[in-house]
Chains A and B, each alone.
Chain A
Amino acid sequence: MTTQPVVDVRGLRMRYGTRDVLDGIDVRIDRGEVVALLGPNGAGKTTTIEILEGFRRPTAGTVAVLGEDPAHAGDAWRARVGVVLQSWRDHARWRVGPLLEQFAELYRPFTAEGRRGPYDLAELLDLVGLAEHRGALVRSLSGGQRRRLDVAIGLVGRPELLFLDEPTTGFDPVARHEFHELINRLSDFDDTTVLLTTHDLAEAEKIASRILILDGGRIVADGSATDLARSVAGVSEISWREGGSRQVHSAADPVPFVRDLLARPGVQVTELQVRSQTLEETYLSMVARHEAAGDRHPIDQEAS
């Protein structure tokens, strides 16, 4: 069981009319991984997630999610997967508590032997920070609260695999921080596998154990934030104060530079900071590099 991947995608293609949105994608995600899917708008992130959720059929390729083809999977499979889509306005007239209770009920018949059933309402509301809003009308919730309700609905059946499409849009910094803790807890304690898309690169760096960058219908990078930073010729920024003035220097490897700096006689160095490349910088240079590569082969672009 443990060796079987949660998501196993091979040669995935999606074509709308004459446009290839996904152009041959291979991905394997194992249990307990938190994977962030990044990429510019129109790169095919949502399409990829919707195929894995079973809401769209791919043009070509094999897709196995929790060992089944999502396009043909039944209710028992559905009960093991949690879905948080990009935007939702449904059930505006319902109250938070009864809505979650109704959905929790649907998971009960599918609770497998030895697994815990759906969340208890109070526990779930506590988890997403909506404890005081149990009796509130859904339409009276703020944007961030509504989003947390969507996350709660995605979680209610204790899914083994959770899809989150831009989950933190509209969150204030505190809510965002709490959400990150929640995701960490889910993957650490419940072994939940999480696949999320986001435009917030700091968020991806913080919660994802692995990052996939999708661009032009292909995966152009796959690895941890540090792996990715290493693969582009990145530089670290070293700044310090010396004799009352601020100094800045860039270096690919900061260690020898800092050693020399501190070893210089008679110099008073204070406020020394070494900042390694952020995921944002890595991402920007990767997407730029990919686009430059695309420009060099205009014929390829025309043909596809």
Chain B
Amino acid sequence: MTTALRAGIRRGLTEFGISLRTPGDVLFIIIGLVIVAVVLWLNRDAEFAPGAPLGWYVVPSVLTIQLLFIATYGLATVIVTEREDGTLMRARSLPSGLRVYAVGVTTRTLAEIACTVLPTLVIAAIILGGDLGLDALGVLQVLAMLALGTVALTPFGFVVGTVFRNPRAVGGWGFLVVGAVALVSGLFQPLSTLPAWVQPIGLVLPLYWIGHAMRSAFLPDEFGVVEIWGGWHVGLAFAIVAAWAVVGLVLAPRLLRRVARRETASGIEARRQAALQRA
């Protein structure tokens, strides 16, 4: 078990190292950071309410969207692609292979989140003149929610990655779904200002609550009025996200095993032919 864990972490870090040396992958991270910088720069003087810069609302939303993108959309893309090229099949042919594979992609995802979130915070701090509205407790709360949020969302990346068969389906539909989830979870504008029928959807999903806990760290206490029940419910937010994490952790390994079991060499060969036809 410890060998699988160690081998998986090493595998994930090697994969991330390869990503950092792949121009396309690095460009993807940089473009994301540039967009964040531009949005914050354009709104650097705007106020969300008297005394509170709009940035204090934007930054927690940005962090949550980044988390969502990397842990579900990005992870799902990796899994669908590696299922098609036979990496998953290879994992099955090795002792402890599937466990090492799962730990590997999770490690890679964590490394990617760290390498996106930290520069984002630095850029935001510079543009907002050093004041992020965070105290020591707030920083702790943000880091805790980033960690818990990753645990809650990563399994769903596995789920999406194993449900779709075609990498392009994830690229198209996955992108739309992620955008829609971000919208109904109040990440673009406060959930309380969205139509009443949307609000229950947002409340059931973990994203609103990840964002909620982030905002409560960045925004002064009195700004809880824009939240759904007119106040901060940080304990509830952590509880709901933790519940999603448990569901995901139970579901994801089963699904991965099931999908890997169905995978066969002849199936991979058939899809390789299909991929060649598309190209």
Residues of chain A having any CB pair with chain B under 8 Å? 46-47, 50, 53, 55-56, 75-76, 78-79, 83, 85-94, 98, 102-103, 105-110, 153, 157, 165
In the complex, A83 Cα to B97 Cα: how many Å?
13
Chain B interface residue number, banded: 20 to 34
B82 sits at the interface (CB 8 A): yes
Q: How far is the CB of B25 from chain A (nearest CB, A)?
A: 10
- Contacting pair B85 A85 (CB below 8 A): no
* Pairwise interchain contact B264-A56, C-beta atoms closer than 8 A: yes
What residues on B are CB-neighbors of A93 within 8 Å?
Answer: 18, 22
* Residues in A neighbouring B87, C-beta threshold 8 A: 90-91
Say whether B264 contacts A106, CB under 8 Å.
Answer: no
Contact B14 A85 (CB under 8 A): no
Whether A50 touches B265, Cβ cut-off 8 Å, given contacts A92-B85, A110-B95, is: yes
Contact B95 A102 (CB under 8 A): no
Q: Which of B7, B22, B90 contacts A90 (CB 8 A)?
A: B90
CA distance A75 to B7 in the complex (A): 15
Name 8 extra pairs, CB < 8 A, besides A90-B90, A91-B87, A105-B10.
A85-B86, A85-B93, A85-B265, A86-B265, A87-B265, A93-B22, A94-B14, A102-B11
Residues in A with CB closer than 8 Å to B14 are 94, 98, 102
Complex alpha-carbon distance, A165 and B268, angstroms: 14
> A105 CA to B96 CA in the complex, in Å?
11
Contact of A106 among B82, B96, B268, B272 (CB under 8 A): B96
Which one of A46, A88, A108 has the highest number of Cβ atoms from chain B below 10 Å of its Cβ? A88
Which residues of B lie under 8 Å from residue A91 when comparing CB positions?
87, 90
Interface check B269, CB cutoff 8 A: yes
Q: Which residues of B contact A (CB under 8 A)?
A: 3-4, 7, 10-11, 14, 18, 22, 82, 85-87, 89-90, 92-97, 100, 263-266, 268-269, 272
- A57: nearest chain-B partner, CB-CB: B261
Beyond A50-B264, A85-B93, is A90–B3 a contact (Cβ under 8 Å)? no
Q: A78 vs B95: C-alpha distance in the bound complex, in angstroms?
A: 5
Chain A, residue nearest B96 (CB): A75
Cross-chain pairs A/B with CB under 8 angstroms, 25 sampled = A50-B264, A50-B265, A53-B93, A55-B92, A55-B263, A55-B264, A55-B265, A76-B95, A78-B95, A83-B93, A85-B89, A85-B93, A86-B266, A86-B269, A88-B86, A88-B89, A89-B85, A89-B86, A90-B85, A91-B90, A92-B85, A105-B7, A106-B97, A108-B3, A157-B95
